[in-house]
Amino acid sequence: MSNVAFLGLGVMGFPMAGHLAKNGHKVTVYNRSSAKAEQWARDYDGHVASTPDAAVGSAEIIFTCLGDDPDVAAVIETASPALASGSIVVDHTTASPALARQLHAQLAKANVGFLDAPVSGGQAGAENGKLAIMCGGDDAHFETVRPVMTAYGARIVHIGAAGAGQLCKSVNQICIAGLLQGLSEGVHFAAKADLDIEKVLEAISGGAAQSWQMENRAKTMAKDEFGFGFAVDWMRKDLRIALAEARENGARLPITATVDQFYGDVQAMGGGRWDTSSLVRRLKDTD
């Protein structure tokens, strides 16, 4: 078992760190809100540190799960002087590929490894230990960390060099954005046509239209319920990263750019903390 630190105990990080503890790893946690860290320590077997550098001092592997590039950069800057030579930092934040490449190069100078390892599966995936993890970084570091990540990862794939994990997460979010808009339009159309949504889903969910989003969100979309995990505010952050990278590499993302603006409409409606299936509300509110 490994001696690990986990920095960031949000809706994803809290259960992920818990799975590490339940799998026998020695876990020290840090969270900006100390109350959240204390709650974690009451729920699981582990230790609480008051600062990032205090958390990482004896850790072989340091996991971060934070909000955005500035959060990751700030925490790593604070923790860096205390990182042990030979340790590995694994960033589960959805952040920019540029930051991942920067941190990989920066930490290598101190003989510290770095993997960008964003996750997919939402809060439910984190709680159930069934996340998909897409990793960028060195082969040796990935092979060292992979067995530890199985505590909460059901599918763990090494995509390529530093930054490749974040690029893969952009692909994930691009696909989800377009799919959710299509599903929203389908649910909206069914309602306008006075169809029984339960029967519609029974009929089409076994065919080519089937998706995880249909299986898990279509019924709640029809009921106007949007309290199921990944928030619109975070999706817009992720799409911002994808669209910025597309401007750099020349990729054409017309649907993604349009759906990003639709999510802006949802935010303007007060839905920043609604889950991403709330795109359908925008259609209802334009009736």
Do residues 64 and 89 make contact, with C-beta atoms less than 8 angstroms apart?
yes
H/E element, 215: helix 212-222
Give the active site residue among 169, 219, 223, 284: 169
Query: Do 31 and 40 meet the contact criterion of CB atoms below 8 Å apart?
Result: yes
Last residue of a domain, one of 161, 196, 216: 161
Whether residues 56 and 156 fall in one domain:
yes
What percent of the chain shows pLDDT beyond 90? 95
Q: Residues 148, 23: one domain?
A: yes
**Lookup: tokens for 56:** 């990482």
Indicate the SS3 state at residue 4. Answer: strand
Q: Are residues 16 and 149 in the same domain?
A: yes
Q: Are residues 156 and 251 in the same domain?
A: no
Residue 201 CA to residue 246 CA, distance in Å, equals 34
pLDDT value of position 28: 98
CATH number at residue 127: 3.40.50.720
Query: What pLDDT is recorded for position 287?
Result: 61
| Same domain, yes or no: 240 and 154 | no
pLDDT per position as a tens digit, 222-231? 999 999 878 9
156 & 171 share domain = no
> What are 185-197's pLDDT values in tens digits?
999 999 999 999 9
Scan for tokens 């230790």, then name that residue.
Answer: 47
Q: In total, how many domains does the chain have?
A: 2
Q: Are residues 185 and 149 in the same domain?
A: no
150 HSE (CA, 13 A, CB side): 8
The CATH number linked to 174 is 1.10.1040.10
Asked whether residue 286 carries a pLDDT value surpassing 90, the answer given is no
Task: Give the pLDDT score at 8.
Answer: 98
113 with 181, same domain: the answer is: no
Average pLDDT taken over every residue of the chain: 96
> Mind listing the pLDDT tens digit for each residue in 229-243?
789 999 999 999 999
Over range 115-144, report the average pLDDT.
96
Q: Are residues 27 and 68 in the same domain?
A: yes
pLDDT at 164 over 90: yes
Characterize 230-258 residue by residue with b for buried, 16 or more Cβ atoms within 10 angstroms of its Cβ, and e for exposed: bbbebbbbbbebbbebbeeeeeebeebee
Q: For 69-113, write each residue's pLDDT tens digit.
A: 999 999 999 999 999 999 999 999 999 999 999 999 999 999 999
Same domain, 222 and 272: yes
* Catalytic residue check, 36: no
Residue ending a domain, choose from 161, 191, 206: 161
Question: Percent of the chain beyond pLDDT 70?
Answer: 99
User: Domain of 229?
Assistant: 167-284
Look at residue 229 in the predicted model and tell me its pLDDT: 78
In which band, very low, low, confident or very high, does the pLDDT at 284 lie, cut at 50, 70 and 90?
A: confident
* Per-residue model confidence (pLDDT) at position 195: 97
Q: Are residues 124 and 218 in the same domain?
A: no
Tens digits of residue pLDDT in 8-60: 999 999 999 999 999 999 999 999 999 999 999 999 999 999 999 999 999 99
| Domain co-membership, 172 together with 257 | yes
With H, G, I as helix, E, B as strand and everything else as coil, classify residue 39.
helix
Among 161, 184, 208, the domain-final residue is 161
> Pick the residue with more confidence: 118 or 58?
118
